Amino acid sequence: MGSSRILCAVLLSILLCICNVIGQLTPRQRAEAVVADMSLDEKILFVHGTDRTSPYIGNIFGNVRLNLSSINLLDGPQGVGNGVRSITAFPSALNVASTFDTDLMYRFAEAMAIEHKIKGTNVLLGPMVNIARVPTGGRNFESFGEDPYLASILTSASVRGIQSQPMIACVKHFANNNQEYHRTTQSSNVDERTQWEIYYPAFQAGVEAGTGSVMCSYNKVNNDWACENQLIIDRDLKGRMGFKGFVVSDWRASFGTVKGANAGLDMQMPNSDKFGSALISAVNGTGQVPLSRVDDMVARILAAMYAAGQLDYPRPTGSLTAIAQSPAHNNLARTLAEASCVLLKNDGGILPLSSTMRRIAVFGDAASRTVVSVGGGSGNVIMPYNVAPLAGIRNKVTTATNVTYTTTADVGNTTLLLASVADVAIVFVSTNAAEGVDRSDLSFSPAQENMISAVAAVQPNTIVVMQCPGAVVLPWANQVRAVISAFLLGQENGNAIANVLFGLVNPSGRLAVTFPLNENQTPIANSPSQYPGVSDQVTYSEGLLVGYRWYDAMGQTPSFPFGHGLSYTQFEYSNIVVVINPSPLQIQVSVQIHNLGPRSGAEVAQLYLTYPDTAGEPPKSLRGVKKVTLSPGATAIVSFDVLKERDLSIWDAINTHDWLLIKGEYAFHIGASSRDLRLHRSFSLDGSDFPTPSPTLSFYIVQQKAYALGISRVIDGGTSTGTVAVLANINNVKGRVWKLTSAGELRSVYDDGMCLDIKGGVTNGALVGLWTCTGNPNQKWNVSSSEWGTIKPAGYSDLCLDSKSAGTAEGTQLDIWTCSNLPHQIWNLMSLASAGPVTASSTSTTTSTTATTASTTSGSSSLLTSTSTSLNTSTSTHSSLSSTSPASLTLTTSPSSYFTSITSSAASTSFTTTTATSTPSTASTTNIPTTSALSSTPTASLDSATTTSLTSTSRVSTTGPSSSTLSSLNTVSTTSSSTAAVSSASTSTSSSSSGSSASSSTPTTTTSGNTASTTTTFSTSSGNTTTSHA
């Protein structure tokens, strides 16, 4: 017995040692170790399918001797495909792309991967990322639209979502599978620059997101079959892009053994005629395929499996008969469907409808008889149910509402009378598409279009809802009041469209494809060489002018442009801010968005870039997308993803065959669509228009905590020397962006030579303003290491930056006063950009707390950021502010938002704190949450337990925001579900004023538009001439 125990202990120790060694190996190293132990026959069995002997669409047998699992492949662009049942029928990928929301794309992909895992899948054959070059393309509903930037960010989110599970994503179809017509025989002839700038970026994004596999396509690329094209697979995908996974053929798209293997194809599907015995002969017989190439093929496949956790324990298990559908996924399907509906037209605000209308007349087979919710082919899914729009409408109205229904064929005088006496008529029309064939045109059937015209002729309040797989033409658009493009909504079709029609959901979808005026108004119309091709030669002669780029370059006005989509509220854009770090090049662009309307809604801000003329680019190209949700009256600062050098570069196909940055004049344009651009900003990359700060600097808005917990009031230093700094609303933009230097200076971003300065001596009541940077001690500050903390003159531990007389109103001057740690002396440096290192967050937590620590640290600076926030308020008592101040903040962070944690050795002082659950109030005011896109791991230490009481005898504000002006701090859309907590103070204190601030300056009030600001001038101790700023 004793010897057995000793043996078991020894074996356990050996096993632990092996596990420790394995834990230190990369997936590729683990794969190579297995490959070294495989015979050639075993290797060959791992690089081809089993000729459909498995119920999966593709299958590779496992290896019992080496304990390797089988590989099961299934389609999945819209859910678990290939006829599998008990799954969720999500909206199409084009629908999810129309949300312009990477967070929703991630959730969509993650949910699909979960269902695939339950069904026993190893490789999810998606996402499909081919650009929608051909408007009638049969598989456009599986795609992410016509723009390479949008397709790229959505591909990245999709791959990350899929591979958040023990699942391998398969980005397809590489490359240029942009039409279904003659897809197995035609050659897509594309120039190198167009390839890299239009058709490769989504695949590059998939590679950078870590996709385990890529599928090569049926077609030829420049007259070489894609699956044996050495230039695109070995040189471009595996070489220049650095792809480490495996390349699998589309089904029966392998055309040669030797050429395919040597070009970089790693797996043949679904059979073995090229990579079975023929490959053994090519290795052992003719030697045309090196054994090292076969070893690499197998190693790439196994490495992807190891990276996905498919060969570790416990191993993923599943069965095609298992039930994968769930209530949670049904709800997600509805959310995705609702968010993807695009409101194209809404004349007179006819939508949303009232649920108490007396009569609603519904027309069209698409409303009930033949509801089109999914596409065909690989993207098809078996729906567990399909909610018809007619049923959805009837479920939303009261019993007093009479809803009539007429099929397309039954439209006539009698049924049109129903339309004429109704309060509103809703006409549903549909068209569909499928893999293997392109649509014949962009129109709906003549019967459906005649139905629209007939109904509109008798009912002025006619609404059209379109179920379509991509772009369509609307010759009847001017006859109707409203149009909604629903695309393919999946199983929740009727529920989603009813919620949008009746305003339970505010539409926020945007067109990922341009809708032309007519069949002839497209980049490839009337040119057979471009489409469908001549003698199977398809020439991409439009080059970079794909989608909206062509309309811009040709001066054509489409029916509805790329990026278009209306809302039931209105949004105002203002205050574009561009911050440039030159080395390495990083550009952060932000904009302020305000909800002017009466409803909460989501706005999709879009950033477009115009290149210098010498670059030879289209008039503008999408370079940023950010979605933000705002309550009525609320405002947000929206920061786009940081642009790097490659984002501004063009592909040099002549000399370097690499990305090339063109020097010269660029311009940013921000707006609600490619044709609705509200703000513009030109800049030069040679630094002539912008300061060239050190790449280690970050840029900040400095918020004061006293007003609504610091969300609305910020420091405005103006733009002219001598201007006294004041508290301002966020819309006073030019003087509100600062950079904190290593010397402790707060320099104006808009004038690198201007610093925040203290007038005269550093003493109580000394005003603070803008002055030429001199290096004088009066221009140096110690910023607390806490997120909310003090800002002190360098060398003074008892004096703090304050607002005059503890005021919080707009226009209140800033001065220096004895430190009290009260909210009017507490500030937050809210980052707009950072050049620091970025990493992805791997944790997800949510915390609500009311604690914040105010540290006093001499000689240390804080680079604290808070981004992508979701803020809510609750009520507390605060004698120095108001009877209803916000008491709880919840910050939502994600892989696209981060904190930089700076530790401090100084003792910290906290307000009295309690833990509370945040609940939004209903009052309305301007609140400023922020979004940003720099990625890093949240590392800030957030303490919700510390409780310290604080008393003070320094100045106390006698005024503050009234309860009527305080409102909930509105939720901002984020790009991931990861969260972290940030605290705010809830203070109960009884204090009296022990001093007042004096000023020799007389403020003057000026008005610009609807904004009034107080401006004061002062002279510095150096005797420079006083100047003023309005």
Active site amino acids: 250
- Helix, strand counts (H, E) of the chain: 18, 46
Helix (H) or strand (E) holding 213: strand 213-216
Residue 798 and residue 818 in contact, taking contact as beta carbons nearer than 8 Å: yes
- The full length of the chain comes to 1030
How far is CA 269 from its chain centroid?
Answer: 34
Identify the three-state secondary structure at position 900: coil
DSSP state of 910: E
Residue type, 959: T
Q: Which residues contact 847 (CB under 8 A, 6 or more apart)?
A: 890, 942, 944, 979, 980, 981
Q: What is the rounded distance in angstroms from the CA atom of residue 640 to the CA atom of residue 589? A: 6
Identify the three-state secondary structure at position 922: coil
Phi and psi (nearest 5°) for 824? -75, -5
Residue 669 and residue 601 in contact, taking contact as beta carbons nearer than 8 Å: no
Pair of tokens at residue 821? 């740690």
Residue 683 and residue 690 in contact, taking contact as beta carbons nearer than 8 Å: yes
Identify the three-state secondary structure at position 153: helix
Residue 549 and residue 619 in contact, taking contact as beta carbons nearer than 8 Å: yes
Closest CA to 591 of 930, 942, 927, 181: 930
Q: What is the rounded distance in angstroms from the CA atom of residue 862 to the CA atom of residue 864? A: 6
Strand pairing report for 123-125 and 71-75 = parallel
Closest CA to 831 of 905, 753, 940: 940
CB-neighbour burial class of residue 146 (10 A; exposed 0-12, middle 13-18, buried 19+): buried
**Angle subtended at Cα 875 by Cα 870 and Cα 881, rounded to the nearest 5 degrees:** 100
Whether the CA torsion 500, 503, 509, 510 is positive or negative: it is: positive
Strand pairing report for 650-652 and 658-660 = antiparallel
Q: Which residues contact 29 (CB under 8 A, 6 or more apart)?
A: none
**Angle subtended at Cα 362 by Cα 359 and Cα 363, rounded to the nearest 5 degrees:** 145
DSSP state of 270: S
Beta strands in 422-479 (DSSP E): 424-430, 462-467
């420079």: which residue's tokens? 1024
Residue 413 and residue 449 in contact, taking contact as beta carbons nearer than 8 Å: no
**Angle subtended at Cα 207 by Cα 75 and Cα 319, rounded to the nearest 5 degrees:** 30
Closest CA to 840 of 305, 201, 209, 212: 209
Whether the CA torsion 222, 228, 233, 239 is positive or negative: it is: negative
Closest CA to 75 of 64, 83, 85, 67: 83
Pair of tokens at residue 133? 């070059």
Q: For 264, what's the count of Cα atoms within 13 Å in the CB-facing half-sphere?
A: 24
Task: Say whether the peptide bond before residue 127 is cis (omega within 30 degrees of 0).
Answer: yes
Three-state DSSP string of 800-868: EEEEHHHCCCCCCEEEEEECCCCHHHCEEEEEEECCCCCCCCCCCCCCCECCCEEECCCCCCCCCCCCC
Strand pairing report for 814-818 and 799-803 = antiparallel
Beta bridge partners of 609: 621, 668
